[in-house]
Amino acid sequence: MNTRKCEWCAEHLGARHSHRARFCSTRCRVAAHRAAKNDATPNELTTRDRWVRRDAKKVPLTVAGMAASSTDSRTWSTHKEAVSSTAGVGLGFVLSDVDDVVCLDLDHCLNPLTGRVAPWAAAILRDAGATYVEVSPSGDGLHIWGRADVRQGRKIRRPDGTAVEIYGTGRYIAMTGRRHGNAPSVLADVSDVVCQLTAEP
């Protein structure tokens, strides 16, 4: 079964695409190249040597295309090396306990056609404040980046049936470079929103 997906819109690449194709259309290729040219990824991330590549199934890879691990720093690279590599289909950033960089993963909260954010996710974005946010590889989720003391990842199922995953170490997050809206290229302190989410019954 073909699991390759467009690096921009996440649509499946069919038989009409070459085995080396990274995008489903010229439109997606141009959009991705424009986004890369105007990459808003915060310096707090790009200056750390914790970058990997990833395959279509989100399995982490080294820049040479071998298996990478979120707990083995020997398999990580610089941002420049990862961007220059053609292994896999995209980038990933490794979260480590050497600092307080965290990611809040909000799935199925964004309409990829209209850009509308579900009310529950909009409330979390508001509470997180001015911090970097990316559209996830699926195109319908958001990754909120920031700083907080998160030593153990958690999946929080909220009373309304939605779920938020919070990660701070021993995990890698698939990166797209697709900044959400006017999110700034900085990592803000998101401790309050993390505490609020983890305190929910």
Catalytically annotated residues: 105, 107, 143, 165
Q: From CA 107, how far away is CA 157, in angstroms rounded?
A: 12
CB atoms near residue 198 (< 10 Å): 13
Return contacts of 11-16, CB within 8 angstroms, 24+ apart: none
CA within 13 Å, CB half, 96? 16
Across the chain, the runs of DSSP E, i.e. the strands, are: 51-54, 60-61, 90-95, 101-106, 133-135, 142-147, 154-157, 163-167, 171-175, 188-189
